[in-house]
Amino acid sequence: MSLEKWAAIASIGLFAMFVGEMISIYNFMTSIPANFEFGVEFEPNSKILQFISIGIAPASILAALSFILSKRYGSKPIGSIILGGGIILLIGMTYCYTLLDNLVVPYLTDAVKITPPLFMGISIPIMTVGIFLIKTNKKRPKKEYF
């Protein structure tokens, strides 16, 4: 397989990992009391920023890389993989957005409120790029070795 296909596969894996992390932290914040035992506190802002930096940032960079490498000729498999990553991100962030009403009040910070709608909006250009690659079908020229 080519580099752009591997990058697209890695990006969909990272999109799914980010969605899983966000769903788990939002479920965690709905089920825990405001204060832990033993005086340990939980700060959701730092965890969300950590999940963004290890999940969605590399996923979007890899999706952009595979788009840049295949945009001239298009590719149905790569476009469908990128489109699938955008759909996974949209569905996961929609679910996280529905959990906002159930959160404990001390954990309802600005980062917790802003993250799901922000990444729902980011999923739309990702899906658009995937659709663009699916629609573009040009024949690749053969490499000429001199």
Query: Tens digits of per-residue pLDDT, 34-84?
Result: 555 544 577 888 889 999 999 999 999 999 999 998 888 878 889 999 999
Would you say 44 and 111 are in contact if contact means Cβ atoms under 8 Å apart? yes
* Percent of the chain surpassing pLDDT 90: 58
Q: Which two tokens stand for residue 80?
A: 């469908």
Neighbour-count burial of 102, counting CB atoms closer than 10 A to its CB (0-12 exposed, 13-18 middle, 19+ buried)? exposed
Mean of the per-residue pLDDT values for the chain?
87
DSSP character at residue 101: G
- pTM, two decimals, is 0.85
4-20 mean pLDDT: 94
